[in-house]
Structure 1
Amino acid sequence: MSDRTTSGLPLRQLLLAVGEPLLEPAAGSLDALVQGVGIFDPDDETGSFAGELVLLVGVRGRGAVRSVRAAARAGAVAVVVKHGGGLDDLRAAAEDSGTALLTVGPRMRWDQLQTLLREVLEAASLAAASTADSGDLFALAQTVAVLTAGSVTIEDAGNRVLAYSRSDDEIDELRRLSILGWEGPEQYLALLREWGVYQRLRSGEEVVRVEERPELGIRRRLAVGIRAGTQHLGTIWVQEGAQPFAERAESALLGAARLAAVQLLRRRSPSVRPREDLVEGLLEGRVSADLVAGHLGLDPSAPATVLAITAREVERDRSEHELHRLEISNVVSVHATSYRRGALVATVGSRVYAVLPDADASLPTVADHVVTVLARAGTRVQAGIGSAVPALGEVSTSRGEADRVLDAMARTPDRHVATISDLRAEILLDETLSLLEENPDLRDPAVGTLVAHDAEHGTELVTSLLAYLDALGDVRAAATGLHIHPNTLRHRLRRAKAIGGLRLDDPRERLVCHLQLLLATR
């Protein structure tokens, strides 16, 4: 007998919600997707248990080995047995069958456990459905967990849990009960009201610290209200784990609260044009700044700067690539909205863009922190910053510059953050060489003759001449760089002039020659 209740919840998250020691993993992977709960009775005819967690009733110990194998053959992703000895045999059977094995105390009633598991799966399904059109609150919770080094829960204004982060760290009783019941336990909510925590969360934009209460089994927490104007939409909670909170935890929380407000408001008003579409149109210059400002409550006359970020290691697997892109977008969004309240973030192609009003000289530092946070999470990115433009309607210009910076940085992988001012010379040179490459009729055939001569005779006239021009005509410096005698270089230069018919005494001819040599060795 089975009961399919949800599109799926990873077994690891299901165990987190139900909690140990109620259910204890004994064998197998915890990454399987649980889509329902089934009951296996050896006296009944076996049906299909595809994608289900199966409770093995009426058997325990070694006597449950056959039931483990039978449930696995019927598609069970995990089985639950009661403690009763013979655990090694059960583990072996589960591992041979490719299913996970969980154990439960002998006094636990099967009907109670089934009801509990179904409630958790149904709640997860409802939460997933409620956020499907409003952005991924679970992804936001996970991002905040990384940035704060804590365990995150996002609740609505009625203290119902909307999303939570995965946690390999130790969690306290409050977090377990909140996730299990998908709302905060009333006893603790009453204490928070008594301590004035909710009043502070609703009164303004601040991070509230709630000290640990060991006698209640409650660890230290940070909390911030999710607000839209004067309206309280919910709360983000972060529980401290084995490690202390990250240094910038409070700043990350403020940014996350602003993002969560957008997602919750969008869920209430699904007809509103998606924010990302507006920002993408603004970046591409096809949506007016007045339209964007009107929809998002911004000042169209405020100066703005575009920050662009891209991953430098493209995954072969498309799903993994999308996951990393979402992670980058979430981290950029949290930091951008923390840096400037009116920040706009959108993903266009493989790049994530942030439009930052009134950015100041600290923007490169903020970008560097984003790069560092993502690197710690295993995602290597580079950040390019365009020039400040005087109004929102000109951000496409700043976006174009940020793109140029990233294009130039692709050839300097060790550089993590750069502005258009940092790389203006490299960008100008790169675009000039691209122009030469696209227009072969503009090139001097003399350089092509040298390239062909080197290829045919194995000489090094091109690299020698390029080193000479790079050294501004200093023969000794160029020879040192090439690890040859100056006289050897002088001989090569004479040969190059003779073979190609070069006129290096003319500054314009010398510049054109230099550019073509750079293109030839690009």
Structure 2
Amino acid sequence: MVLDAMNLRPRASLRRVLDDLGATLLAVVHGDVDRVAELGGIVVHDPLEEQELPRHALVLGVGLRDVGEIVLLLDSLGRHGAAGLVLRAPVPSGLAEAATRSGVAVLALTPGATWAQLSALLRSLLAEDLGDAGAETLGGMPSGDLFALANAIAALIDAPVTIEDRSSRVLAFSGRQDESDPSRVETILGRQVPERYTRLLVERGVFRELYRSDRPVYIPPLIEGLILPRVAVAVRAGDEVLGSIWASVGGPLSADRTQAFSDASRLAALHMLALRAGADVARRLRTDLVSTALEGGPGTREALDRLGLGEQPLVVLALGLERAGDDAALVSERQRLADGLAMHLSAVHPRSAAALVGHVAYGLVPVRDTEAAVRVATDFLDRVGDRVHAVIGIGPVAEGTSDLASARASADRALRVLRAGTNGGRSVARLEDVHVEALVLELRDLVAARGDRPTGPVARLFAYDEEHNTNLVATLRAWLDCFGDVIAAAATLYVHPNTFRYRLRRLSEVGGIDLTDPEARFAAMLQLRVVSPAKLAT
């Protein structure tokens, strides 16, 4: 399991980790901790799973005690370029030679310290937030720390609170939630106010009153499941409502606590804006880096290094919605999908990167074969479900920076075929899977750009159908698509085979086409696929 996702700046070195954590948690047992300039990630060793390790990973050897097993692991980690292996103290003897041979430092986790504590501290040290968030405070609390704010508000008004966004998703909550009622507990566990409660609140006009008022609103326990009253206040940034704060109370707040609750909403707005601004800046930076990497220009190597993807093979994923458009719902859906893809990739493969570039969400996945990328893409779409009609095109493996631009182009070509719906219902495809369909679409582009029109027998059939309201072109298309099988072709047009045979003879006479000539058949099929009007060239 990989604990850290993609970072946009250089990571801490193993030496810095030891200096920051000190001897209270980690001690060096074997190896050179200065060999690696920067750590590539934190990985929990799982003996039952074949893991993708980022280069220069620090591996947590949870539960490892057998010397033979540890020696084999050190040799494997050395081949993968890992920086270090953490074992529970006391570390077994007999590992010095293996540590030297593999080049992997062996560290000891102090007795009494938990692996959860270590992983949390390591994640904190390796987190690369834009700016020094720890040095910036708002109202005496770290900027963006909504949980600290929730606890502070709960102390001010002596009641458990939740901070929620406009969609009633719980962003943070205070302690003492056990003092509330079952509906609050259900909300906390699901990190979302249950739909039945939000629907009742909407029907009773609670949200309308809440968002119109700049003062806290008292909500009596008139709704089934609400045993305790609520007091809520909107969180605003100017005219924009960012969310709300909800307190579970025993009765109306006093004047002083009402004022404190109202003041807290203004402080919450600053914290929520700080979170949003930080997320937006990080997202824009990630988008710029991914876009630069995919262009294949002189900035590609630097962009990949900043994404943590330098010097390794990559596969490009191109994720898009089947339906095109620029309305607000589609724009929002594309961004949600891009964020979901980024989260999915970071969980499945260390040091992956994803960003929305234009109307397509691109993923850079450090794998050595496209089959693995297909599995990743398929798993993501399975998780998304049928509510969103999305498709993913996959490019070939890019072995170097010079290959990325062509890999992206291949992924885009596969994506276009999937969007066009000419691929037999696939949702994931490599270019090699849909190469012919891609060529047909590109031929259509060329024909459209030149303004070409059908010629020869096909042109005569189009003209005859237009003048006499017949179906000779459809008959020819069905016959060609069914490889000359009259019974099957007649069934596609819902006519009797004898009627179909008559139409075949008629189209041969009208169009002057010899259906026994393979060249004539190929020419007709090509024109019907590429040159004919769009409504017939599906």
TM-score normalised by structure 1 residue count: 0.54
Asked if 1:122 is matched to 2:267, the reply is: yes
Separation (CA, whole Å) in 2 of partners of 1:476 and 1:83: 71
Instruction: After superposing the two structures, state which structure 1 stretch, 307-316 or 327-336, moved more.
Output: 307-316
Q: Which residue of 1 aligns with 2:315?
A: 305
Q: Which residue of 1 aligns with 2:410?
A: 401
1:332-481 matched pairs, under 5 angstroms: 332-360=341-369, 361-375=371-385, 378-412=387-421, 414-441=425-452, 443-481=454-492
Deviation at 1:447, TM superposition (A): 1.0
Deviation at 1:102, TM superposition (A): 9.0
Identity of aligned residues (%): 29
8 Å Cα contact 1:310-1:382 kept in structure 2: yes
Query: Tell me, which stretches of 5 or more residues in structure 1 are unaligned?
Result: 36-49, 55-78, 85-89, 92-99, 137-262, 267-272
CA deviation profile, 1:357-378 (whole Å, cap 9, x unmatched): 22432322221222122237x4
8 Å Cα contact 2:315-2:373 kept in structure 1: no
Letter in 2 for 1:390: E
Deviation at 1:453, TM superposition (A): 0.8
8 Å Cα contact 2:293-2:303 kept in structure 1: yes
The equivalent position to 2:512 in structure 1, one of 501, 506, 515, is 501
Letter in 1 for 2:301: D
- Say which SS state the counterpart of residue 421 (structure 1) adopts: helix
Q: Which residue of 2 aligns with 1:132?
A: 277
Query: Tell me, which stretches of 5 or more residues in structure 2 are unaligned?
Result: 1-138, 140-162, 185-196, 223-228, 231-244
CA deviation profile, 1:240-273 (whole Å, cap 9, x unmatched): xxxxxxxxxxxxxxxxxxxxxxx5xx9xxxxxx9
Deviation at 1:307, TM superposition (A): 0.8
Could you say if the C-alpha distance between residues 419 and 480 of structure 1 is closer, same or farther in structure 2, counting changes exceeding 3 Å?
same
8 Å Cα contact 1:81-1:102 kept in structure 2: no
CA deviation profile, 1:132-153 (whole Å, cap 9, x unmatched): 14438xxxxxxxxxxxxxxxxx
CA deviation profile, 1:413-451 (whole Å, cap 9, x unmatched): 943222222222222223233333433447423212201
Letter in 2 for 1:80: Y
Separation (CA, whole Å) in 1 of partners of 2:259 and 2:164: 15
Q: Which residue of 1 aligns with 2:501?
A: 490
- Say which SS state the counterpart of residue 484 (structure 2) adopts: coil
Aligned length: 332
Separation (CA, whole Å) in 2 of partners of 1:349 and 1:288: 19
Deviation at 1:315, TM superposition (A): 7.3
Q: Which residue of 2 aligns with 1:53?
A: 215
8 Å Cα contact 1:83-1:105 kept in structure 2: no
Deviation at 1:295, TM superposition (A): 3.0
Instruction: After superposing the two structures, state which structure 1 stretch, 103-112 or 285-294, moved more.
Output: 103-112
Q: Which residue of 2 aligns with 1:238?
A: none
8 Å Cα contact 1:305-1:355 kept in structure 2: yes
1:90-105 matched pairs, under 5 angstroms: 104-105=249-250
1:274-289 matched pairs, under 5 angstroms: 274-286=285-297, 288-289=299-300
8 Å Cα contact 2:395-2:430 kept in structure 1: yes
Separation (CA, whole Å) in 2 of partners of 1:484 and 1:10: 59
Deviation at 1:298, TM superposition (A): 2.9
Separation (CA, whole Å) in 2 of partners of 1:15 and 1:351: 28
Could you say if the C-alpha distance between residues 31 and 416 of structure 1 is closer, same or farther in structure 2, counting changes exceeding 3 Å?
farther
8 Å Cα contact 2:294-2:300 kept in structure 1: no
Letter in 2 for 1:409: L
RMSD: 4.2
Could you say if the C-alpha distance between residues 383 and 293 of structure 1 is closer, same or farther in structure 2, counting changes exceeding 3 Å?
closer
Separation (CA, whole Å) in 2 of partners of 1:303 and 1:442: 44
The equivalent position to 1:110 in structure 2, one of 251, 255, 269, is 255
- Say which SS state the counterpart of residue 335 (structure 2) adopts: helix
8 Å Cα contact 1:9-1:34 kept in structure 2: no
CA deviation profile, 1:112-145 (whole Å, cap 9, x unmatched): 3432453354145224325514438xxxxxxxxx
Q: Which residue of 2 aligns with 1:80?
A: 218
Q: Which residue of 2 aligns with 1:269?
A: none
Instruction: After superposing the two structures, state which structure 1 stretch, 435-444 or 445-454, moved more.
Output: 435-444
8 Å Cα contact 1:276-1:346 kept in structure 2: yes
Letter in 2 for 1:132: A
Could you say if the C-alpha distance between residues 324 and 31 of structure 1 is closer, same or farther in structure 2, counting changes exceeding 3 Å?
farther
Asked if 1:512 is matched to 2:486, the reply is: no
- Say which SS state the counterpart of residue 316 (structure 2) adopts: strand
Separation (CA, whole Å) in 2 of partners of 1:102 and 1:399: 50
Letter in 2 for 1:446: P
Q: Which residue of 1 aligns with 2:193?
A: none
Deviation at 1:333, TM superposition (A): 0.3
Letter in 2 for 1:385: I
Could you say if the C-alpha distance between residues 331 and 359 of structure 1 is closer, same or farther in structure 2, counting changes exceeding 3 Å?
farther
TM-score normalised by structure 2 residue count: 0.52
Deviation at 1:391, TM superposition (A): 1.8
- Say which SS state the counterpart of residue 392 (structure 2) adopts: strand
Deviation at 1:474, TM superposition (A): 3.5
- Say which SS state the counterpart of residue 398 (structure 2) adopts: coil
Could you say if the C-alpha distance between residues 284 and 473 of structure 1 is closer, same or farther in structure 2, counting changes exceeding 3 Å?
same
- Say which SS state the counterpart of residue 410 (structure 1) adopts: helix
Could you say if the C-alpha distance between residues 106 and 134 of structure 1 is closer, same or farther in structure 2, counting changes exceeding 3 Å?
closer
8 Å Cα contact 1:306-1:402 kept in structure 2: yes
Could you say if the C-alpha distance between residues 83 and 106 of structure 1 is closer, same or farther in structure 2, counting changes exceeding 3 Å?
farther
8 Å Cα contact 1:81-1:104 kept in structure 2: no
Q: Which residue of 1 aligns with 2:330?
A: 321
8 Å Cα contact 1:83-1:106 kept in structure 2: no
Could you say if the C-alpha distance between residues 386 and 82 of structure 1 is closer, same or farther in structure 2, counting changes exceeding 3 Å?
closer
Could you say if the C-alpha distance between residues 363 and 437 of structure 1 is closer, same or farther in structure 2, counting changes exceeding 3 Å?
same
8 Å Cα contact 2:317-2:363 kept in structure 1: yes
